[in-house]
Amino acid sequence: MKYIEEPDITLEMLINVGLIDVGTILYASSDNAVTAILNVDGSITLTLNGLTKKYPYPSGAARAIRGVSISGWVFWRVKENNQFIELLKIKKRYLDL
């Protein structure tokens, strides 16, 4: 049986309320040199080993890097006021709206 991700909150929802911008650079928590780009539909474009792929959810993009299941909300970070913050923090802001 194939696992299908069905998130309760998506990056697209965060974009739609202005909490994060399209084109935002996402940084892997394991290595700041590993980055991805946030797309208008909330998907993430990641280039890994010379191959570019679009992932519908943060966890899928994180799994592509780590090779194991991991929460993309914790794995991916953005720069805000010259500091790295986890996507989870932005997700929590959405929940507080």
Band of pLDDT at residue 37, cut at 50, 70 and 90 = very high
Per-residue model confidence as pLDDT tens digits over 70-97: 999 999 999 999 999 999 999 999 999 9
Q: Whole-prediction pTM value?
A: 0.91
Q: How far is CA 47 from CA 14, 34, 54, in A?
A: 23, 9, 9
pLDDT of res. 91: 97
The partner residues of 53 in beta bridges, in order of sequence, read 46
pLDDT of res. 4: 60
Q: How far is CA 35 from CA 4, 7, 27, 31, 89, in A?
A: 24, 22, 5, 8, 18
pLDDT of res. 5: 57
Per-residue model confidence as pLDDT tens digits over 48-61: 999 999 999 999 99
Look at strands 51-55 and 31-38 and give their pairing: unpaired
